[in-house]
Amino acid sequence: MEIPFIVNARKDTGLFNSKVGIWLFLASEVTLFGGLFSGYLFLRLYADYPWPERALPVLPGLINTFVLIGSSVTVVFAWAALKMREWRKFQIYMAITLVCAGLFMVLKGIEYNAKFGHQAVRLQGGGPVQDNAIVEGHLHYAKLGEDGLMVEVDEDRKKDDGVFKANRVLVKASEFSFVLTRPTHEAYVQEILRQAGDSKITLVEPYQVIDKSELSAGQMNRDQLVSSENAQVAEKGSELTIELLDDLEDSYLEARSHDRKIRTEFLSASWDWIRNEKGEEQAATYIVEKEVWKERRVEDGEKLKILTLRASSEVTFKVDPPFTLVLETGDLVKKANVDDSSVKLRDDTLVTGKVLKSPMIMGVDALDFRTTAQRAEAEALDPLPVIEGTWLLTHTPDHDSHDDHADSEDADHRNQFKKIWDCHMAWLKAEEERLKEKGRVPSRNDKYRVNWDQILAYGGLGYDADKVYQESKARTLKRAGLFSLDGFAGANHKIHKGEFPHLEIPRAKVGFESTFTPKWNTYYAIYFTITGLHGLHVIGGALVLGYYLFFGRKMYESNPEWLANRVEVGGLFWHFVDLVWIFLFPILYLM
Amino acid sequence: MADSIEGIKKAKKLYLFIGTLLFVFTVVTVMVATVEWLDFGDHGFDWVDATIGLCIAAFKATLVMLIFMHLNHERPMIYFFYVLGLVMAFFCMWLIGWSKSDPIQFGNEIYSDGFYDLSKPATDVHGHGARE
């Protein structure tokens, strides 16, 4: 069948049909992205936290902008080449377009990957504004030492057995209670068994479905009601397996459904009795008023007690000897603190024992006090003293207490973050003086946020605030800046290994933690939503244009104008993809 | 749309020129956002920088639409579709602006920097009903 009006225009519209189609589609796309952009606007206008302005590394975004603009040019060139019947040139231009699409996605991948591996923590507790200091950085790695406590290991060993990211909750487990009404524990049981090692996990009490069948069942035909299997399901000391838990769960559920059936039969038998005794009309009134009925109910209740099966919905296993269970924070129903005597997993499994010291350990590449400052201002407090009182700037690190110089007179009692902050204040002072000459003041970002390149610059001067002030004043302070390659996708912990300050955050101080994913805040939620959808458009567009390049030869030979029209339509979509990015780049990277 | 060989050759030069312009204005966008002597308004990012950035983006987008997408000479039907999409997109934005004036949902005091006063309970239009 010949498709009409795909080469020549229709008289009434003056267009070939596929062009009408693509423009209708583009109109819907404009609306879709319009909706997402307005979503962005909404989240930003109503954000109750300091919006991450210019939070993304500019360079990958900038290169991607060039790449997409370049590909927009090559795609119209490819179309022009077809119009002039130059197949070879068409191939070249289209191939460049596809390479651009690939490059765009690779850069996007690098950016996403950096976000997934970058950790943020909002600290909590203490101070008039509940702290709210934010640290960003890179999680270190740890494993269990021989004493079952957490030991930090070098990142080179992250692929070794038993090495985990230093963001886990360690519990010395001595007992597990599983809830049989929640059939989701398989993954947890597997994990528990894997970690248990040589420890034995055994049932504390025999699990029985109790049935007092030897007592009288009265006029009820109990043989119909009670299944004959009601004995012990599992012996005391049975070892924990997934199959055992499945069996216990089945027995429990069977007992429950049997009980339901019995109750229904009792009710219906009672109702039959009362209808026979008093007749349909009187029955309801009789139930409410008469003593005889109450006696009957008591009698039935006794029988019910006898006939129903009773099984526990919880089974407890003891662990011998207790072992250290390493749990992801997301596995826990609520936050665990050191010395808690139990934690609850998401499937309501209760792990009894003792929560061990399980700090988050990270290399810190940014300090952000903007939320602290915002909350301080809301309380009509001066933000600076509040910031200086936060845990981050005042705590004494554990490993410093063994320092030989700790007691000597010239010992520097400030922790490393306080030193950074003091350097930052020195930098800010120089910056304030410089801007004052121009009648300007530093922005909130300048004041309350210390970026990775600042931390490195201050560290390069040995965290000496005076030197930082002098160098800032002379404008010779070496900062990596926006376009440096070593910060291509953000702070680079490989190049600057050991240069970022080490921080151990006690569990109790962790208010909220996440990688830079939608969980962290609404900025990253909308960032991933829009750029993700845009990335899918890039892939879709590249597939269509690639099809023309690799499978277009036959059509070119039989009907070149048709292929030219197809490329024009595909090109229109490609330009739209470019167009969206033209707005996305400044909005997400520069504002 | 240029259909003759001559017309297409001419159009190719235009495409290259527009491509170059887009490159240049991308650099300008970044400079306005990062170079201090091009930082208008207050120091650092503020609404002036946002306006300038968006204006440049809109200008670039217009170039792409007019030249690359051939909207400088299209049939009336295409303009109709185009405007339809645009109207709906702006309708979405307008809805957000509209919600900003919604006294029931957002009746609590807002700071000049756009944040709520979280220390005070949110109230409805009659002044009662707390957030909690």
Instruction: Confirm whether B14 is domain-assigned.
Output: yes
Q: How far is B127 from chain A (nearest CA, A)?
A: 20
A494's tokens: 């490989």
Q: What is the mean pLDDT of residues B42-71?
A: 93
User: What span, in angstroms and rounded, lies between the C-alpha atoms of A386 and A390?
Assistant: 7
* CB-CB contact of A226 with A258 (8 Å): yes
Report pLDDT digits (tens) over A534-567.
999 999 999 999 999 999 999 999 999 999 999 9
If DSSP states are collapsed to H, E and C, what string results for A457-471? HHHHCCCCHHHHHHH
Among residues 61-120 of chain A, which lie with CB inside 8 Å of chain B?
62, 65-66, 69-70, 72-73, 76-77, 80, 83-84
- Asked if A295 and A421 sit in the same domain, the reply is no
The mean pLDDT value for A422-435 works out to 96
- Residue A304 is inside which H or E element, if any? helix A291-307
Give the rounded distance of the alpha carbon of A579 from its chain centre. Answer: 30
**A133 located within any domain:** no
Does A367 share its domain with A249?
no
What is the per-residue pLDDT for A411?
60
| Residues in CB range of A28: below 8 A, 6 or more apart | B85
Using CA of residue A279, residue A282, residue A288, residue A289, what is the dihedral sign?
Answer: negative
A28-40: average pLDDT: 94
Same domain, A270 and A350: yes
Residue B106 within a domain: no
Report in angstroms the alpha-carbon separations of A41 from A36, A47, A373.
9, 10, 24
- The lowest-confidence range among A53-57, A327-331, B107-111 is B107-111
pLDDT of residue B96: 81
Using CA atoms, how far apart are residues A363 and A121, in angstroms rounded to an integer? Answer: 12
Model pLDDT, residue A402: 45
Domain membership of residue A136 (yes or no) is no
Identify the domain boundary among A456, A489, A515: A515
Mean pLDDT of A123-139: 91
Instruction: Specify the DSSP element, H or E, that contains A365.
Output: strand A360-368
- Greater pLDDT, A45 or A387: A387
The shortest C-alpha distance from A61 to chain B (Å) reads: 10
Question: Would you state the torsion angle of the CA atoms of residues A484, A490, A496, A501, taken in this order, to the nearest 10 degrees?
Answer: 130
Domain endpoint, select from A515, A549, A573: A515
In a domain, A535, yes or no: yes
Query: How far apart are alpha carbons A200 and A181 in whole angstroms?
Result: 24
DSSP 3-state assignment of A10? coil
Going by pLDDT thresholds of 50, 70 and 90, the confidence category of residue A399 is low
The pLDDT value given to residue A310: 74
CA–CA gap between residue A160 and residue A164 (Å, rounded): 9
What's the pLDDT at B102? 57
* Lowest mean pLDDT segment, chosen from A98-102, A486-490, A518-522: A486-490
- Statement: residue A320 has pLDDT above 80: yes
Q: Is the predicted pLDDT of residue A306 greater than 80, yes or no? A: no
Q: Are B83 and A34 in contact (CB under 8 A)?
A: no
Residue A228 confidence (pLDDT)? 44
pLDDT at residue A587 in the model: 96
> Do A523 and A510 lie in a common domain?
no
Q: How far apart are CA A51 and CA A56, in angstroms?
A: 12
pLDDT band for A486, please (50, 70, 90 cuts): confident
Q: What percentage of chain A reaches a pLDDT higher than 70?
A: 92
| A433 and chain B in contact, CB less than 8 A | no
pLDDT of res. B32: 92
Residues 67-126 of B with CB under 8 A from A: 68-69, 75, 77-78, 81-82, 84-86, 88-93, 95-96, 99-100, 106, 111, 113-119
pLDDT of the residue at A218: 43
Give CA–CA dist A285/A131, Å, rounded. 65
| Mean pLDDT for all residues in chain A | 89
Residues forming beta bridges with residue A471, ordered by sequence position: none
Cα A491 to chain centroid distance, Å, stands at 20
Please give the residue of chain B at the shortest CA–CA distance from A14: B75
Number of separate domains in chain A: 3
Mapping DSSP to helix (H, G, I), strand (E, B) and coil, where does residue A343 land? strand
Predicted local distance difference test score (pLDDT) of residue A210: 65
Question: Do A336 and A226 belong to one domain?
Answer: yes
Q: What is the pLDDT of residue A224?
A: 43
The three-state secondary structure class of A583 is helix
φ and ψ at residue A11, rounded to 5 degrees: -70, -45
Same domain, A348 and A285: yes
Residue B82 included in any domain:
no
Task: Give the integer Cα–Cα distance in Å for A65 and B27.
Answer: 10
What integer pLDDT is reported at residue A373 of this predicted model?
95
Q: How confident is the model at residue B116 (pLDDT cuts 50, 70, 90)?
A: low
pLDDT band at B120 (very low <50, low <70, confident <90, very high): low
The pLDDT assigned to A303 comes to 73
Residue A524 above 90 pLDDT? yes
Looking at the DSSP bridge assignments, the partners of residue A178 are: A315
Residue of B3, B6, B10, B15 to mutate for A, most A C-beta atoms under 10 A? B15
B78 in any annotated domain: no
Mean pLDDT of B55-82: 92
Do the beta carbons of residue A14 and residue B73 sit within 8 Å? no
In a domain, A3, yes or no: no
> Helix or strand or coil: residue A361?
strand
Instruction: Reply yes or no on whether the pLDDT at B3 is more than 60.
Output: yes
In this structure, the answer to whether residues A475 and A583 fall within a common structural domain is no
**A30, A49, A378: residue with CB nearest B119:** A378
Say if B65 falls within a structural domain.
Answer: yes
Same domain for A368 and A489, yes or no, is yes
Same domain, A188 and A262: yes
The domain of B20 spans: 5-69
pLDDT score, position B101: 65
> Which of B1, B115, B116, B117 is best to mutate for the A interface (most A CBs within 10 A)?
B115
Residue A5 has pLDDT above 80, yes or no: yes
Side-by-side strand order, sheet with A350-355: A200-203, A314-328, A168-179, A350-355, A342-344
Q: A326 or A378, which is more confident?
A: A326
Q: From A586, which residue of chain B is nearest by alpha-carbon distance?
A: B53
User: Does A137 fall in a domain?
Assistant: no
Nearest partner of A201 among A178, A233, A168, A169, judged by Cα: A178
Contact B86 A30 (CB under 8 A): yes
The pair phi, psi for residue A467, each rounded to 5°, is -60, -40
Of A79, A78, A111, residue with least CA distance to A93: A78
Please give the structure tokens belonging to residue A99.
């390479």
Spatial strand order of the sheet with A164-165 comes to A150-153, A141-144, A164-165
Q: Cα Rg for chain B, rounded, in angstroms?
A: 23
Most confident stretch, A278-282, A376-380, A551-555: A551-555
Q: Are residues A275 and A367 in the same domain?
A: no
The per-residue pLDDT for A277 is: 79
- pLDDT for res B132: 37
Widest pairwise Cα distance in chain A:
105
- Name the residue in chain B with its Cα closest to that of A582: B57
- A335 falls in which pLDDT band (50, 70, 90)? confident
Domain limits for position A483: 362-400+413-515
- Please check whether residue A138 lies inside any domain of the structure: no
By C-alpha distance, which of A418, A370, A446, A449 is closest to A129? Answer: A370
Q: For residue B36, name the pLDDT band (cuts at 50, 70, 90).
A: confident
Q: How many domains does chain B contain in total?
A: 1
Q: CB of A47 within 8 Å of any CB in chain B?
A: yes
Output the six-digit token pair for A288.
């409410």
CA–CA dist B112, B89 (Å, integer): 28
**Band of residue A458 on the pLDDT scale cut at 50, 70, 90:** very high
pLDDT band at residue A225 using 50, 70 and 90 as cut-offs: very low
pLDDT at A280 > cutoff 90: no
The pLDDT of residue B109: 54
Are residues A420 and A555 part of one domain? Answer: no
Q: How far is A328 from chain B (nearest CA, A)?
A: 31
- Which of the pair, A265 or A238, is modelled with greater confidence? A238
Query: Quick one: pLDDT at residue B108?
Result: 52
pLDDT in tens, A250-267: 888 888 888 888 788 878
Q: Which residue has the tokens 């991450």?
A: A52
> Which of B49, B90, B100 is the closest to A34 by Cβ?
B90
Among A44, A570, A39, residue whose Cα is nearest residue B89: A39
A164-222 pLDDT, tens per residue? Answer: 999 999 999 999 999 998 776 788 999 999 999 899 999 998 888 766 444 334 444 44
**One domain for residues A505 and A532:** no
> Is A527 part of any domain?
yes
Among candidate residues B16, B130, B51, the one with its CA nearest the CA of residue A76? B16
pLDDT over 80 at A529, yes or no: yes
Domain end, chosen from A482, A515, A548, is at: A515
Residue A42 is nearest to which of B8, B49, B96, comparing CB atoms? B96
Average pLDDT over residues A53-80: 95
The predicted pLDDT at position A481 comes to 76
State the amino acid at position A38 in one-letter form.
S
